[in-house]
Chain A
Amino acid sequence: MARGILRTAVSRACLVLVLSIAAHAYGDPGKDLFDKQCSGCHTVGGGDSGGPDLKGVTDRRSEEWLESIIIHPDTMAATDPARKELIKKYGYEMPTLGISHDDAIKIITWLKGGGGGAAQAGAPPADEHPEVVVTPALVAKGKALFTGQKPLANGGAPCIACHRISTPGITGGNLAVSNLSASYQKMGEKGMRGALKALKFPTMKKIYENRPLTDDEVTSLIALYKDAALTKSTPSASFFPAYGAGTFVVFLVGLTLYKRRTR
């Protein structure tokens, strides 16, 4: 009886050990890095999104070129025609993510193997994020999140702080170059979803590092961008410099009156 229990325990322990080793062997550091750093904007076989589909990229580009764009895209020669073409197509430069040389090699090695042989990696399965259906309620929620009227659940900054959008009634900031309705037109829904989930752009990276957007927030914001892109409105004019100048004149008048009073 006791021998039987011991035999069962040993065989189960061996099974757990073998499964652990197998799982470890199948774990690919290149894939892990890709999922963590790249999958926000890229897929392998899932089509273009925030950035190009990387399926077969190791056949199209040299290893040195791939290393450069992964490690320090900001310092790649401005004259590099392939890079210029990508910026033109996607509307922004790939951000520097702080990936080390060793990690870049691991990612490239994994990509060389066909991205783990999967038909689609990086992008979420198609059925996980069905296409956003724009409704007035969803657009209104997106507007409230964009402007900060409804704070983001994890405490991130509202989009209006730095971004413009071509929709009536919202005058966005312009610390960031991109107008988000124009970005949506370039990136499409899948690309925008990837970008909003990753938020790896230089200025945004630190702000949202521990404050990611929730799926619900991403969907509402996509509805807003999609609606703005479809309606093709012009960006709201900013009257704030004129108001500022007007208020300045009022201050000068006040100062003059104060001077007369104290003469």
Chain B
Amino acid sequence: MTDYLFFAVFPYVALAVAVGGGVYRYSRERFSFSSLSSQFLDNRVLFWGSVAWHYGIVLILLAHLVALLFPGFWGRLLGDPLRLAAIEATGLALGLFTLAGLVVLLLRRIASPKAWAVATVMDLLLLAALLLQVATGLYNALVYRWGSLWYLSLAVPWLHSLACLNPDIKYIVPLPLMIKVHLVNAFLLLLLFPVTRLVHIVSIPISYLWRPWQVAVWNKRPIGS
């Protein structure tokens, strides 16, 4: 029953809240769709956290997404022990990079008085949920080796069944607790999407790719550099 609630009901609730809440927030407070950057308040440490976190998490999410959307391709890609080990090692490195970046962001948020002054409870909750997600992901990659392969045979069919509105939790029920925590927490993050600064995911500045160059000129040397 608990498994059914977590893996057959909760994902839909999270998705409904994410879409409904996201649309509602956009219609009411369009300009709140932002990361509410605190770069101006404290930029010294932000670089180390933000760059490591964003490059790491984007590539890791991309790998999850490619396996989900193109399982045949992903299966063929991993169908060689050397490629499998190389992809897993790269994934582990990206996981560590992501975790390091997140820890830096969390410490900065707590240690910097300026960043702390603009922090909300939801910011801290989001950081905690992200930390749990990355930590369990790393744990699963290390302890339950070749996650890239069993994800394809266990999590992907479950996600496909959810997408087809015919949830089949039999793939997930026998899995170890830490993997289940990782899966449930992923949907918890989806639930947090409309009520946190996570909404900035959908405000990707794609136009930056083709807009003209902008030259930024400092009038004076920035303090602390």
Interface pair B81/A161, CB less than 8 Å apart: no
Quick check: is B153 within 8 A (CB to CB) of the other chain?
Answer: yes
Interface pair A160/B149, CB less than 8 Å apart: yes
Which single member of A148, A244, A251, A263 contacts B149 (CB below 8 Å)? A148
Which stretch (A108-116, A128-136, A203-211) binds chain B? A203-211
Interface pair A206/B150, CB less than 8 Å apart: no
Give the CA-CA distance A170 to B90 in the complex, in Å.
Answer: 19
Within the complex, the shortest CB–CB distance from B172 to chain A, in Å, comes to: 9
Interface pair A207/B149, CB less than 8 Å apart: no
Give the residue name and chain of the B residue nearest to A147 (CB). Answer: B81
Residue of A151, A158, A245, A250 with highest tally of chain B CB at under 10 A: A158
Interface bin, chain A: 35 or more
Give the CA-CA distance A251 to B48 in the complex, in Å.
Answer: 12
Within 8 A of A (CB), among B116-158: 142-146, 149-150, 152-154, 157
Interface pair A174/B79, CB less than 8 Å apart: no
Give the CA-CA distance A146 to B214 in the complex, in Å.
Answer: 54
- Known contacts A148-B79, A205-B170; is A174 also within 8 Å of B92 by CB? no
Contact with B along A210-225 (1 / 0, CB 8 A): 0000000000000000
Interface pair B146/A162, CB less than 8 Å apart: yes
Interface pair A203/B149, CB less than 8 Å apart: no
Quick check: is A202 within 8 A (CB to CB) of the other chain?
Answer: yes
Interface pair B78/A203, CB less than 8 Å apart: no
Within the complex, the shortest CB–CB distance from A255 to chain B, in Å, comes to: 6
**Which residues from chain A contact B150 at a C-beta distance below 8 Å?**
157, 161-162, 173, 175
Which stretch (A3-11, A43-51, A117-125, A235-243) binds chain B? A235-243
Give the CA-CA distance A251 to B60 in the complex, in Å.
Answer: 14
Give the residue name and chain of the B residue nearest to A236 (CB). Answer: B81
Within the complex, the shortest CB–CB distance from B81 to chain A, in Å, comes to: 5
**Which residues from chain B contact A248 at a C-beta distance below 8 Å?**
92-93, 96-97, 100
How many residues of B are counted as interface, with CB atoms below 8 angstroms from the partner's CB atoms?
43
- Known contacts A207-B154, A244-B89, A251-B93; is A151 also within 8 Å of B79 by CB? yes
Within the complex, the shortest CB–CB distance from A244 to chain B, in Å, comes to: 3
Give the CA-CA distance A255 to B146 in the complex, in Å.
Answer: 27
Interface pair B85/A171, CB less than 8 Å apart: yes
**Which residues from chain A contact B154 at a C-beta distance below 8 Å?**
203, 206-207
**Which residues from chain B contact A147 at a C-beta distance below 8 Å?**
79-81, 84
Interface pair B93/A245, CB less than 8 Å apart: yes
Quick check: is A154 within 8 A (CB to CB) of the other chain?
Answer: no
Interface pair B84/A160, CB less than 8 Å apart: yes
Within the complex, the shortest CB–CB distance from A17 to chain B, in Å, comes to: 42
Interface pair A158/B144, CB less than 8 Å apart: no
Interface pair B153/A161, CB less than 8 Å apart: yes
Which single member of B51, B142, B145 contacts A255 (CB below 8 Å)? B51
**Which residues from chain A contact B26 at a C-beta distance below 8 Å?**
none
**Which residues from chain A contact B90 at a C-beta distance below 8 Å?**
244, 247
- Known contacts A162-B150, A240-B145; is A247 also within 8 Å of B80 by CB? no
Give the CA-CA distance A86 to B189 in the complex, in Å.
Answer: 43
Contact with A along B150-189 (1 / 0, CB 8 A): 1011100100000000001011011110000000000000
Quick check: is B24 within 8 A (CB to CB) of the other chain?
Answer: no
Give the CA-CA distance A228 to B208 in the complex, in Å.
Answer: 56
Q: List 11 A-B contacts (CB under 8 A).
A: A148-B149, A149-B81, A162-B146, A173-B145, A175-B176, A203-B154, A207-B153, A207-B171, A238-B145, A240-B92, A241-B92
